[in-house]
Amino acid sequence: MQNLLDLDMAGLKAWLAQIGEKPFRANQLLRWIYQRGETDFSAMSDLARVFRERLPTLAEIRLPTIVSDKVSDDGTRKFLMDVGASNLIETVFIPETDRGTLCISTQVGCALDCSFCSTGKQGFNRNLTTAEIIGQLWLANRALGFDPAGDRIISNVVIMGMGEPLANFDALIPALNLMLDDHAYGLSRRRVTVSTSGIVPAMDRLREACPTALAVSLHAPNDALRDVLVPINQKYPLAELMAACKRYLEKAPRDFITFEYVMLDGVNDSFDHAKELLNLVKDVPCKFNLIPFNPFPNSGYETSRPDNIRRFRDVLMQAGYVVTTRKTRGDDIDAACGQLAGDVQDRTAVQQRMDRQRVIMMRSVGAAPSGEKETVND
């Protein structure tokens, strides 16, 4: 039984050809499923009656199940969704005056072990399917509805929830295509942002397959510190990452990369770190998003003091960069950046590994000369 949510336009046309149907049916099906939010084939009135009656024997529209829907005091809304086998993922809607942004997950947990991230501490179970990725947008659209002008509440999508999107590349691309397709959601490439910790080969593939806006989880200005905070850096160090960012901009819908930088007290937030960061990105058109760390139990980190964040921001701004300090949203319902954890049946024993890694003294690593490279023993 084919779940139609797993298929973008190209995939749907190929499937229709296999069952002996005309390719124009793909346009009709996408409009019914995504623009009208219909899951009942019998209600799709412009499909031929014989085709409508045949569809339930060949296909289904199977979505994740919303098991919890919490609303923060600031209006942030967190959906907890069941994707089977006791695995739960989280999707967050962030309302603002000029936009409504949905933060979507791509994996059940995450295998990258970023030391400051609650999702990473939950371990990893599996990749989400295309249907489970696009299904989050489908369900949130249905729950949120339309504004008084008749427009959808969700105007922007950020692939920044649970998991590393580019580690689930084959399921991500069809989901992105559906977000952008005029027969489905019709979002602008500028309004869809993929966030990555820096999987360089996949960044190059994304540039060719479906270039959207790109955010890079940077979090450190040198390899020694980033090796600990973002361990994938040990495989793709900063020089390779910066080069990949420059290549990506050749086809990106925006003329800059957004660098995400979590502010950790005494770890990566000093004046010297800010100056080092400027030197790192000097050849990459970019802007910065500074993220005050959102605490979670046993993280081992504290949020940078407000005066340190302002000082760090000012160093970057005085060098001519656009810098945003992210306002913490949804922290009262654990929906803030770095707090998404869901419920993951871990297959990687990540918690035991991270507990062993915690013996590393972060402050001393943060102060290490940029030429020295600390290693993390697994």
- Distances in Å between the Cα of 212 and the Cα atoms of 101, 105, 152, 195 are 15, 16, 20, 10
Q: Report which secondary-structure segment, H or E, holds 58.
A: helix 49-58
Q: Of the listed 103, 245, 286, 337, which one is catalytic?
A: 337
Q: 221: exposed, middle or buried (C-beta count within 10 Å: 0-12, 13-18, 19+)?
A: buried
3-class DSSP state for residue 181?
coil
Catalytic, 90? Answer yes
3-class DSSP state for residue 264?
strand
**Which of 287, 201, 290, 190 minimizes the C-alpha distance to 248?**
201
Q: Of the listed 90, 132, 164, 260, which one is catalytic?
A: 90
Contacts of 110 (CB under 8 A, 6+ apart): 117, 119, 120, 122, 124, 162, 163, 164
Whether 216 contacts 195, CB under 8 Å: yes
Q: Cα separation of 27 and 327, whole Å? A: 40
User: What is the CB neighbour count within 10 angstroms for residue 183?
Assistant: 18
Catalytic, 260? Answer no
Query: Both tokens of residue 350?
Result: 């990540």
Whether 242 contacts 283, CB under 8 Å: yes
- Active-site residue set: 90, 337
